[in-house]
A and B are shown apart, each in its own frame.
Chain A
Amino acid sequence: MNPRHSWIIALKDIKIFIRKRTVLYTLVLLPLLLSILFPLVIKYGGKGSGGIPASSIPGVLGSFEWFYVIIPAIIPAPMASYSIVGEKIEKSLERLLATPTTDGEILLGKSIATFIPAIIATYAGATVFMALIDSVTYGKLGYFYYPNWDMGVILLLAPLVLLLSIELNVITSSRVSDVRSASQLGSLTFLPLIGIYLASELGVITLDTSTLLILAGVIAVLDVVMFRVSTSVFQREQILTKWK
Chain B
Amino acid sequence: MIETENLTKKFGDLTAVDGVTFRVEEGEVFGFLGPNGAGKTTTVRMLSCLISKTSGTARIAGYEVGNGADSLKIRRLIGLVPENVGLYESLTAYDNLDFYGKLYDRTESQRKESIAALLKMLELWEKKDVPVATFSKGMKQKLAVALALVHDPQILFMDEPTANLDPEAAKTVRDFILDLKKQKKTIFVNTHNLDEAQRICDRIAILNTTLRAMGTPEELERSVRGRVTVIQLEQPNDAVLAAVKKLGLGDVSAEGSKLTIGTADPEKDNATILDAVFRAGGRIQSVNVVGSTLEDAYLKLVREREKA
Q: A interface vs B, CB < 8 Å?
A: 4-5, 8-9, 12, 15-16, 19-20, 90-102, 236-237, 240-241
Contact = CB atoms under 8 A, between A and B. Distances in A.
Place the interface of chain B in its size category: 20 to 34
A93 B86 contact: yes
B237 interface: no
Q: In the A-B complex, list the 10 residue pairs whose CB atoms are closest, starting with the nearest.
A: A91-B84, A95-B86, A92-B86, A98-B80, A100-B75, A19-B90, A237-B51, A99-B103, A94-B82, A8-B102
B128 to A, nearest CB: 16
Interface string B32-49: 000000000000010011
B51 A241 contact: yes
B45 to A, nearest CB: 7
Nearest to B102: A8
B89 to A, nearest CB: 6
A146 B187 CA distance: 65
Given A16-B91, A94-B84, A95-B82, A240 B75 contact: no
Nearest to B51: A237
Contact of B103 (A5, A91, A92, A236): A5
A90 B11 contact: no
B77 to A, nearest CB: 9
Contacts of B85: 91
Contact of A16 (B80, B84, B90): B90
B88 interface: yes
Interface string B66-100: 00000011011010101011111111000100011
A83 to B, nearest CB: 13
Contacts of B148: 95
B306 to A, nearest CB: 24
Contacts of A97: 50
B64 to A, nearest CB: 16
Contact of A92 (B50, B72, B75, B87): B87
B206 interface: no
A223 to B, nearest CB: 26
Contact of B104 (A12, A15, A100): A100
B52 interface: yes
B147 interface: yes
Given A19-B90, A20-B90, A241-B11, A100 B84 contact: no
Contact of A236 (B51, B84, B90): B51
B97 to A, nearest CB: 12
A100 B103 contact: yes
Nearest to B103: A99
Nearest to A86: B88
B89 A90 contact: yes
B290 to A, nearest CB: 43
B48 A98 contact: yes
A240 B50 CA distance: 8
A15 B99 CA distance: 11
Most buried by B among A16, A93, A94: A94
A102 B103 CA distance: 11
A237 B16 CA distance: 14
A234 to B, nearest CB: 13
B75 A99 contact: yes
